[in-house]
Amino acid sequence: MDVPSLHSRFVSDVLPRIRQDARVAGMAITGSLAGGRPDVYSDVDLILVIDNETYDAVMRERLVLIGSWTSLVAGFTGEHVGEPRVVITLVGPPLLHVDFKFVRASDFAERIEDPEILWDRDGVLADTLAQQPPATPAFDLQWIEDRFWVWVHYGATKLGRGELFETISFLTYLRETVLGPLAARRVGTISRGVRHLEAIAPEEARALQATLCGYDRHEAGRALLATVDLYRRWSDAGGAIVERRHHAEKLAMQYLHYVIDQASDRPR
């Protein structure tokens, strides 16, 4: 793995400082640096494994600790992405995005993929990974089908009202929540929304271009129709058993076409 020099220097500098804290049982790295696809734009995703009995104290000191380990420019906790254990930071200069995830030693086994262990004080990290395999989250196509036609109707209401910023944002949501995961499923990889999609699923990424639009009512209607078309085609592939919501689909699509037809009668 060819790790960019800035990232490599950061890891080499920070690791000896972290090891001085006896409460830290080990450190691992995930993300593109562990997965073999790093480039100069990659984040550094670190896992700090903390002894159970000292975990709460360390959590209270996280920003201070990070500032003692590296040149902290800015940092905040990750509640907005559903992960309050993470501190999202910029360090430097030169600027580098680093995520520090603090986990209890007893929780380290809970993972969707294996990290690369950088330091393991007593061999606990390696033993933990050996005892429990990663658990890849199941792709729940029924969960999507139960919601998708409600979402289509919602997008049509935004389009009909002329709230194009809302419509564009909604199309982004459907790419990240529905089409990106379906694209990852088609190529047999773990879903991360639309992250790295151009590299891991180039054919699907090209198809997704049809779901983009500018600040234009007619383009937005076309993009919504393209989103529905891709959902239908991609969700039908793979042989998954899904209870289709045909009645909801029919009514939501009638409404979407009505809104698009109304928009076509208006001047550009």
Is residue 50 within 8 Å of 23, Cβ to Cβ?
yes
Is residue 17 within 8 Å of 66, Cβ to Cβ?
no
- The pLDDT tens digits for 15-28 are 999 999 999 999 99
Q: At how many degrees (to 10) do helices 217-236 and 246-264 cross?
A: 160
Architecture of domain 141-264: Up-down Bundle (1.20)
- The pLDDT tens digits for 60-105 are 999 999 999 999 999 999 998 889 999 999 999 999 999 999 999 9
Look up residue 196 and give its two tokens.
């790295």
Rounded mean pLDDT, 166-194: 93
The residue among 173, 177, 169, 170 whose CA lies nearest residue 141 is: 177
Residues in the chain: 268
Full-prediction pTM beyond 0.75?
A: yes
> Distance between CA 81 and CA 75 in Å, rounded?
14
Q: What is the location of CATH 3.30.460.10 in the chain?
A: 5-131
Q: What is the location of CATH 1.20.120 in the chain?
A: 141-264
CA torsion through residues 193, 157, 227, 241, sign = positive
Look up residue 209 and give its two tokens.
């271009």
Architecture of domain 5-131: 2-Layer Sandwich (3.30)
- The pLDDT tens digits for 19-69 are 999 999 999 999 888 876 788 999 999 999 999 999 999 999 999 999 999
Sheet of strand 83-91: strand arrangement: 72-78, 83-91, 96-104, 44-50, 24-30, 116-120
